[in-house]
Structure 1
Amino acid sequence: MTGALEAVRARRSWSKVTDAAPTHAELLRLVSAAGRVADHSSLRPWRLIELRGSDREVLGRAIHKADGEKGHSTKPLRAPLLIAVVASYRKSGKVPRWEQEAVASGVAHMLSLLLDEAGWGVIWRTGHYTRSKAVAKAHGLGKDEELLGWLYVGGKPERSGGGRRKALDARPLLSRMPA
């Protein structure tokens, strides 16, 4: 086993990135692959929104509005590209809401892995304002949609020290069914 296993083992969050970012065309290719996650009934209960340039300032104003402040937050300016992850719930008698949110989360995580493997620095950011009306309005969310957060994407900076994340001991997290 190589490829996917090594990509997952090498993945890390990049809180600081450079001003480089993937193009829209590059994103389309990666989103197409990320959309292959398990999706009961193939509902595709998700969508993604690209935020570049002044879009990030619009988001910054919405974040401050959600916090009851004036001006704009600089948080969205920490990366040249933000990808808003939206759970877009579908009516279904077979697929509950929580499962649809899991699909949207799976797409976001898969996309973060693909971006990382393609050489981009990525971190998934959330916050209480993901559920605010001002931020939902800025993203044009519909009544059956929720914002799950943003993938902040940019170039990987030269990094001194650090390296791979500490290996995970899976033994306490994997068990058998009780007798």
Structure 2
Amino acid sequence: MPETMQSNATTLQFLLNRRSISALVEPGPTQEQLSVLLRAATTVPDHGCLRPYRFVVVPPNGREAFGAALVAAAEEQRPDLPPEAREKIRKKAFAAPTRIVLIASPRDDEKVPEWEQIASASCTGYAIVLAALAQGLGAAWRSSPIVDGTALRELLAMQPRERVLGWINVGSPAVVPTTQERRPPDLSTCVTVLDADGKRQFLAATVK
């Protein structure tokens, strides 16, 4: 097999067997690794090249402030939130050495509707996870039941139209990641084909 084809096959297997890694420990990503993650995020499909997104990196020494803002956001909408729920939310900030907060930041553009810009911003999360795993790091896209509140918006310096899309936890895998292949899904449950005779079921081929 030519070298290029072999490389492409390896990349394809990487994508087909991708798994999020939630159990993360120190060390977190280096500055070089972080730069690669964020550069990968900017390669997502982006109609009009608007870059309708931005990121806030939360290193270890920023976790306390981030956790407090998450709790404040939850309390703002649910003042009766029990102490155990508040602590559970606060701990989300400490689940990994580093996190990258994804913020959709729509631009004013007559040709590109806001929903399309938010879709583009959402793609950055997947790109960051892939780039992390490709560098031997662990990563998982995470969120909280409530990610909008005065304290959180102030901490992240958010504009009125901006919204948090979650964050990517990044660190070193706590255990050796599995190399087991993922079981192929039943594509007929989510894919149909529209041809000249109308709509029909998609019949998946065996992927070697």
Global fold match (TM > 0.5): yes
> Counterpart of 1:58?
65
User: 1:67-114 deviations in whole A, cap 9, x for unaligned?
Assistant: 327887122111000000010110010111111111111111111111
Identify which of 91, 97, 100 aligns with 1:74: 91
The normalised TM-score by structure 2 is 0.78
User: 1:142-175 deviations in whole A, cap 9, x for unaligned?
Assistant: 2221110010011012248784443222233221
The amino acid across from 1:2 in the alignment is: A
Query: Could you say if the C-alpha distance between residues 109 and 52 of structure 1 is closer, same or farther in structure 2, counting changes exceeding 3 Å?
Result: same
Distance in structure 2 (CA, Å) of the matches to 1:83 and 1:33: 13
Distance in structure 1 (CA, Å) of the matches to 2:178 and 2:126: 26
The amino acid across from 1:18 in the alignment is: V
- Confirm or deny that 1:149 pairs with 2:156: no
> Counterpart of 1:2?
9
5+ long unaligned stretches in structure 2: 1-7, 76-80, 199-208
5+ long unaligned stretches in structure 1: none
Work out whether residues 85 and 148 of structure 1, in 8 Å CA contact, stay in contact via their aligned partners in 2.
Answer: yes
The normalised TM-score by structure 1 is 0.89
User: 1:11-39 deviations in whole A, cap 9, x for unaligned?
Assistant: 11122111111112222123223311111
- Confirm or deny that 1:134 pairs with 2:151: yes
- Confirm or deny that 1:177 pairs with 2:194: yes
Structure 1 vs Structure 2 CA RMSD: 2.2
Distance in structure 1 (CA, Å) of the matches to 2:21 and 2:103: 21
Structure 1 SS opposite 2:57:
strand
Structure 2 SS opposite 1:74:
helix
Work out whether residues 33 and 135 of structure 2, in 8 Å CA contact, stay in contact via their aligned partners in 1.
Answer: no
Identify which of 175, 190, 197 aligns with 1:158: 175
> Counterpart of 2:40?
33
Calculate percent identity across the aligned residue pairs. Answer: 30
Query: Could you say if the C-alpha distance between residues 93 and 151 of structure 1 is closer, same or farther in structure 2, counting changes exceeding 3 Å?
Result: same
Work out whether residues 12 and 164 of structure 1, in 8 Å CA contact, stay in contact via their aligned partners in 2.
Answer: no
Structure 2 SS opposite 1:177:
strand
Structure 1 SS opposite 2:94:
helix
The amino acid across from 1:152 in the alignment is: N
Work out whether residues 129 and 135 of structure 1, in 8 Å CA contact, stay in contact via their aligned partners in 2.
Answer: no
Distance in structure 2 (CA, Å) of the matches to 1:155 and 1:65: 29
Aligned residues: 179
The amino acid across from 1:40 in the alignment is: H
Structure 2 SS opposite 1:36:
coil
Work out whether residues 46 and 104 of structure 1, in 8 Å CA contact, stay in contact via their aligned partners in 2.
Answer: yes
Distance in structure 1 (CA, Å) of the matches to 2:153 and 2:36: 27
Distance in structure 1 (CA, Å) of the matches to 2:178 and 2:67: 32
The amino acid across from 1:98 in the alignment is: W
Distance in structure 1 (CA, Å) of the matches to 2:38 and 2:57: 12
